[in-house]
Homo-oligomer: A and B are copies of this chain.
Amino acid sequence: MTQAYVHGYDPKEQTRLQDQAMTLVDLLHSDTAYPPGSQILEAGCGVGAQTVTLARNSPRASIVAMDISETSLAEARHRVMLEGLTNVRFQRGDILDLPFDPGSFDHVFVCFVLEHLKEPGLALQNLKACLRPGGTITVIEGDHGSAFFHPDSDAARAAIRSLVELQARTGGNALIGRSLYPLLRRAGYRQISVSPRTVYADAGKPEMVDGFTKRTFTAMIEGARQSAIREGIVEPAVFDRGVRDLYRTAERDGTFCYTFFKAVGTA
């Protein structure tokens, strides 16, 4: 049986997601700010890792942060409260069955969500329906096939592929970043603009080595160990060697590179 692999459902994973949001925040979010008075939907807010940044960057916009999980919503609500942000309200809802009237929002924001969905195209169509004409959607996703590093390592690549395969078996797509453009087009968005956001870490950037290479990317791969091995996707020895080799890229002569994609389209 396939054990669902979804980010954000245990405390260690939540720490990882927070680390990720801290080190990537400028790269991914600094160019997203919504006008005063605009109505924003964050679809799939999870534990609120991005919600805080979104609310801070658009202090006079009204944000509805939606997630399917009450547990995640509670955590997100707590985090937003701790930051003293008052422009977010939380609502439980399913991205495939949205609890909003057509045209309810000026802008939609979706970050690290589509990768988990069996039907990302349908989700994008649904989100388009709840946007006013001329409203925009912003989508951010990673792409695990974008990872490369020095020293190179077959085992590390096998460990990464095992996570890609695991996510595919649960109906997700860990390589979705490269497909945002055609996905948005097929869902009917116009004026689509996609930009790569490449994270690069070497010993000259110790905060990226620690915050991204080790505590975000390699920790995420490590977190899939049990599921990947139980599913028979990868030999334990290869996986463990791969994780060691990924940590090796965080040493003084190592480098690590990964590309996220940010897409904006108009409804």
List A residues at the B interface (Cβ < 8 Å).
143, 145-146, 148-150, 152, 175, 178-179, 181-182, 185-186, 192-196, 198, 200, 202-204, 253-255, 257, 259, 261
A77 to B152, CA, bound (A): 39
A198 to B253, CA, bound (A): 22
A-B contact pairs, 23 of them (CB 8 A): A145-B148, A145-B152, A146-B146, A146-B148, A150-B178, A150-B179, A152-B175, A152-B178, A178-B255, A181-B203, A181-B253, A182-B253, A182-B255, A185-B203, A185-B253, A186-B253, A194-B200, A194-B202, A196-B257, A198-B259, A200-B261, A257-B259, A259-B259
Counting chain B CB atoms within 10 Å of each CB, the highest count among A149, A175, A194, A202 belongs to A202
By a CB distance below 8 angstroms, the chain B residues around A253 are 181-182, 185-186
Known: A182-B255, A255-B178. A194 touches B204 (CB 8 A): yes
A186 to B259, CA, bound (A): 27
Known: A192-B204, A198-B196. A257 touches B152 (CB 8 A): no
* Cβ–Cβ contact B204 & A255, under 8 A: no
By a CB distance below 8 angstroms, the chain B residues around A175 are 152
- Partner pick for A150 among B150, B182, B204, CB 8 A cutoff: B182
By a CB distance below 8 angstroms, the chain B residues around A198 are 196, 198, 259
By a CB distance below 8 angstroms, the chain B residues around A185 are 203, 253
Q: For the complex formed, measure the closest distance between the CB of A124 and the CB atoms of chain B, giving whole angstroms.
A: 14
Known: A194-B200, A198-B198, A204-B192. A181 touches B148 (CB 8 A): no
Known: A257-B196, A259-B198, A259-B259. A178 touches B149 (CB 8 A): yes
Counting chain B CB atoms within 10 Å of each CB, the highest count among A149, A150, A195, A261 belongs to A150
- Partner pick for A200 among B179, B195, B203, B204, CB 8 A cutoff: B195
Q: For the complex formed, measure the closest distance between the CB of A206 and the CB atoms of chain B, giving whole angstroms.
A: 13
Q: For the complex formed, measure the closest distance between the CB of A105 and the CB atoms of chain B, giving whole angstroms.
A: 23
A257 to B150, CA, bound (A): 19
A186 to B182, CA, bound (A): 43
Closest to A256 in B: B178
A220 to B40, CA, bound (A): 45
By a CB distance below 8 angstroms, the chain B residues around A203 are 181, 185
By a CB distance below 8 angstroms, the chain B residues around A145 are 148, 152
By a CB distance below 8 angstroms, the chain B residues around A179 are 150, 255
Q: For the complex formed, measure the closest distance between the CB of A143 and the CB atoms of chain B, giving whole angstroms.
A: 7
